[in-house]
Structure 1
Amino acid sequence: MRPTRFVALGDSLTEGVGDPVAGGWRGWAALLAPGLAAEPVPFTNLAVSGAQTRDVLETQLPAGLALRPDLVSVVVGVNDTLRRTFDIHAVTARLDTVYAAFAAQGAVLLTACLPDPGAVLRLPGALARPLARRQRAVNTVVHALSGRYGAVHLPACEDAWIGDRAMWSADRLHPGEKGHRQLAVRFHALLAGAGLATGPAPSAEPASPAPTRGAALWWLATAGTGWVARRCTDLLPQLLRLAADELRHDARGTSARLDLRATQAVSTALAALPVVGRTGAA
């Protein structure tokens, strides 16, 4: 089946933050769309910066279903890991509902596992490890659900380009143009291999230079301070408690218990899904 309509759901990554163009953001999904077929494919980007799985379920899903896409990308979850309310059981149930709804319409799902924000931000170990554990949990769920619904899945968390500073925007949280192009190129290769992309692959070469260190510092001194303040109000108190717990386990040599606890939570969340989620359309 060749896609005749492409709809993108998610957060700032899919909205295109980090890849500015006249009038707003572009991003990997917009770069991918022209290569899906020889003729232009209608493309709608419903992704919104800051969106969590709840936002995708409650707001983006109804809008996406109304468009009846042939190809739909659902890339979300990082913002959930950055909230004190993080609950892998809730994340799993929401994603399963979203995937199942599009699969029931016959849409091909496009999904991705993403790097953890602690590594991207280069946080100290005790602060980074709890975020990494959360993102691994989300990635495990996304990987499992992608298999369940026959999604075209990109394990972007494993890509070597993630460690390349030139791939990231000045905020160090979102890919720059070069990073967005890498995502588009990799998604296109997967879709082409499945016979779902027949147009030319997106160019991997950016039109704009990578942000300088000065640009990164300017972002932190201006827009970045507001971002940090908002996240600190919501996440920092809990993250500090998680870091203290991490250090206690380190001192006792029992850090493996934290990983085991997270793994068990993911297993329980997946096992709790309704039967219809297990046998949904692929």
Structure 2
Amino acid sequence: MRRVRFVALGDSLTEGVGDPVPGGRRGWAALLAAGLAEEPVAFTNLARAGAQTRDVAERQLRAGLALRPDIVSVVVGVNDTLRRTFDLGAVAARLDTVYAEVTGRGALLLTACLPDPGAMLGLPGPLARPPARRQGAVNYVVHALSDRYGAVHLHACEGDWTTDPAMWSADRLHPGERGHRQLALRFHALLAERGDATGPAPAPETEFQAPSRSASLWWLATAGTGWVARRCTDLLPQLLALAADELRHHARGTSARLDLRASAAVSAALAALPTAERPEAV
């Protein structure tokens, strides 16, 4: 009997950043794989830190489908929102292509909407609202397309886990081991309800000791500083301009226009998808 084949696509969240184990990283997808069936699952993690929807559509997808998977997770989009080149229409088109290819091959698709990175980083209001609108728009697109393609969708942007410091690593952008376990548990519960996960649910308790405060500070001063520097040269100038626009609208009492603009962008992105039956934004 052929083993269940599970392929994970996406960015650093799925790669396992925040969940270090001896010899590398683990992450929620690997934890989930161990409970998908009673027999060992053939699991391949193709997710890479920094990946955007373009990377998944143009590189990871082909490699993943070549493995003839039964289950494919596609969790990506945050890195798109943190670029000055953010284009919601392009994000929607890539996700539509990826989801269609996965389900067209008969694989079960797993998706998730994600927390707002600005809120996770604790940015002040005017700086936090623009990335929040972007992530909200991406989440809406993911919701709509997940419904269209019959995906098993996890509302990872909701719940107490997003505000519980014990769930998150030092950078506040990636879950720690406890957070990765929470994601794996929630996905497992959704799959078990459908009869698509027959193995034991991942344990919620951590296996490894959390990094010490000094180790966390060292990470922030090395890898974390590099991440901030790259975002400052890319997104920060645009983010400051968007924040200034937020303040102007707030002063005029017209902030609702920005929300309407974001809603219109979602509607346009979904309407532009090349299919006859499109999900509609509301």
TM over 0.5, yes or no?
Answer: yes
* Structure 2 counterparts to residues 52-131 of structure 1, below 5 A: 52-131=52-131
Q: What is the number of equivalent residue pairs in this alignment?
A: 278
Q: Distance in 2 between matches of 1:214 and 1:166?
A: 17
* Matched letter for residue 205 of structure 2: E
2:262 aligned partner: 262
* Structure 2 counterparts to residues 170-249 of structure 1, below 5 A: 170-211=170-211, 213-249=213-249
2:8 aligned partner: 8
* Matched letter for residue 135 of structure 1: Q
1:165 aligned partner: 165
Q: Distance in 2 between matches of 1:223 and 1:48?
A: 15
Helix, strand or coil: the match of 2:66?
helix
* Matched letter for residue 33 of structure 1: A
User: Once the 2 structures are TM-superposed, how far is the Cα of residue 277 of structure 1 from its aligned partner?
Assistant: 7.0
* Structure 2 counterparts to residues 37-52 of structure 1, below 5 A: 37-52=37-52
Unaligned regions of 5+ residues in structure 2, if any?
Answer: none
Q: Distance in 2 between matches of 1:229 and 1:133?
A: 23
- Residue 168 of structure 2 contacts residue 179 of structure 2 at CA under 8 Å; is this kept in 1? yes
Q: Distance in 1 between matches of 2:276 and 2:43?
A: 29
Q: Distance in 2 between matches of 1:113 and 1:194?
A: 20
User: Once the 2 structures are TM-superposed, how far is the Cα of residue 157 of structure 1 from its aligned partner?
Assistant: 0.3
- Residue 88 of structure 2 contacts residue 265 of structure 2 at CA under 8 Å; is this kept in 1? yes
Compare 205-214 and 46-55 and name the one that shifted more: 205-214
Unaligned regions of 5+ residues in structure 1, if any?
Answer: none
1:140 aligned partner: 140
User: Once the 2 structures are TM-superposed, how far is the Cα of residue 211 of structure 1 from its aligned partner?
Assistant: 4.3
2:151 aligned partner: 151
Helix, strand or coil: the match of 2:190?
helix
1:23 aligned partner: 23
RMSD: 1.5
Q: Distance in 2 between matches of 1:277 and 1:209?
A: 49
- Residue 3 of structure 2 contacts residue 42 of structure 2 at CA under 8 Å; is this kept in 1? no
* Matched letter for residue 15 of structure 2: E
- Residue 178 of structure 1 contacts residue 210 of structure 1 at CA under 8 Å; is this kept in 2? no
1:35 aligned partner: 35
Cα deviation, 1:207-238, whole Å, max 9, x if unaligned, reads: 23344554443322222211110111110000
- Residue 7 of structure 1 contacts residue 43 of structure 1 at CA under 8 Å; is this kept in 2? yes
- Residue 166 of structure 1 contacts residue 211 of structure 1 at CA under 8 Å; is this kept in 2? no
- Residue 8 of structure 1 contacts residue 47 of structure 1 at CA under 8 Å; is this kept in 2? yes
Q: What stretches of structure 1 move > 6 A for 4+ residues in a row?
A: none
User: Once the 2 structures are TM-superposed, how far is the Cα of residue 4 of structure 1 from its aligned partner?
Assistant: 1.4
User: Once the 2 structures are TM-superposed, how far is the Cα of residue 30 of structure 1 from its aligned partner?
Assistant: 0.3
Q: Distance in 1 between matches of 2:9 and 2:175?
A: 17
- Residue 111 of structure 2 contacts residue 153 of structure 2 at CA under 8 Å; is this kept in 1? yes
Q: Distance in 1 between matches of 2:83 and 2:3?
A: 35
TM-score, normalization: structure 1?
0.95
- Residue 167 of structure 2 contacts residue 179 of structure 2 at CA under 8 Å; is this kept in 1? yes
Q: Distance in 2 between matches of 1:80 and 1:60?
A: 16
Q: Distance in 2 between matches of 1:209 and 1:167?
A: 13
- Residue 96 of structure 1 contacts residue 277 of structure 1 at CA under 8 Å; is this kept in 2? no
* Matched letter for residue 256 of structure 2: A
Helix, strand or coil: the match of 1:85?
coil
Q: Distance in 1 between matches of 2:89 and 2:26?
A: 32
TM-score, normalization: structure 2?
0.95
Cα separation, partners in 2 of 1:258 and 1:43, compared to 1, 3 Å: same
User: Once the 2 structures are TM-superposed, how far is the Cα of residue 41 of structure 1 from its aligned partner?
Assistant: 1.1
Q: Distance in 2 between matches of 1:182 and 1:272?
A: 35
Q: Distance in 2 between matches of 1:117 and 1:141?
A: 17
Q: Distance in 2 between matches of 1:209 and 1:263?
A: 43
Compare 213-222 and 180-189 and name the one that shifted more: 213-222
Q: Distance in 1 between matches of 2:266 and 2:187?
A: 26
